[in-house]
Chain A
Amino acid sequence: MAKNNCNLQVNCENGILTAKLCGELDHHGAVAVRTLIDAEMTRCKPQKTVLELSELDFMDSSGLGLIMGRYALAQRMGGEFSVSRPNERILKIFKLAGLERIVKLEGVVCEKNKKERRKANETKGN
């Protein structure tokens, strides 16, 4: 199978599980991401689960399902859950489903800052 466009890094420290998603999250990538996050959540039983989306460039409604599912799992496990730094685009999709009223959001930045950061990253990268 071709590589997943969504790159996932999971880190569990001091009861906080951080799952950082990079690239593009669609229906194809969601299954693998879900399996990995769930395995880690079951393994380390975090007090808090954070989905870090600052480097997620694309997400469709499959991502909504993934986020809702992890939120439900965290609830069942009695832990906190939040989504960190989604970009404007992803926020737009959140709002369609009213997700921002259910799930706690952290560090929402405006598009201008995001652009500046991307620019800074590009200069650094080249």
Chain B
Amino acid sequence: MKPKGTKNSFTSPVINEMSLKLPSLSVNEGMARAAIAAFCSQLDPLPVEIADIKCAVSEAVTNCIVHGYKERVGTIYITVKLCNEGIVRIEIKDKGCGIEDVRQARQPLYTTDAENERSGMGFTVMESFCDKVRVYSKCGKGTTVTLFKKLQGK
């Protein structure tokens, strides 16, 4: 274990906060990432950082639709917090089926849905484009993915 404080703990005070609630329909994926990108623009991110955020959000929202609410339409809950020191915290939550083995789900190329041409790269993309990704999941209860991104030069 690393002693506390050696790694960015992403706990700066919140400047602004937005909540979004949307039905888990794939047609809403574009809106979700565009809305979050627009909200984050308050912190004046670089174009590449906005692109990272959009892509990571797209992965998390797609997971809620494809895996969380596999057979039905449920609600996706998104909270975005803009914090001091250019820290963005995005929480994306579903009340769907949950993930049995989070560690396995996060492995590159692992997918439970190969026949629909899922690449199994969702979590890998999120991890590569964010500074930290936290996944909390409970079978039958749902999954919460929190994306942390520190904007450079802030």
B117 touches which of A58, A60, A66 (Cβ 8 Å): A66
Interface size on B, residues (CB 8 A): 25
Residue of B nearest to A97 (CB): B121
The smallest beta-carbon distance between A97 and chain B, in angstroms, is: 5
Q: Mark A32-62, 1 if CB is under 8 A from B, else 0.
A: 0010000000000000000000000010111
Q: A5-B30, A58-B55, A96-B124 are in contact. Are A27 and B119 (CB under 8 A)?
A: no
Kindly state whether residue B131 has any CB partner on chain A within 8 Å: no
Kindly state whether residue B66 has any CB partner on chain A within 8 Å: yes
List chain A residues, Cβ under 8 A from B122. Answer: 61
| Interface pairs (29), CB distance under 8 Å | A2-B27, A5-B30, A26-B26, A26-B30, A26-B58, A26-B62, A27-B58, A27-B65, A27-B66, A28-B27, A28-B29, A28-B30, A58-B51, A60-B55, A60-B62, A61-B120, A61-B121, A61-B124, A64-B121, A65-B117, A65-B118, A69-B117, A89-B55, A93-B121, A96-B121, A96-B124, A96-B125, A97-B109, A97-B121
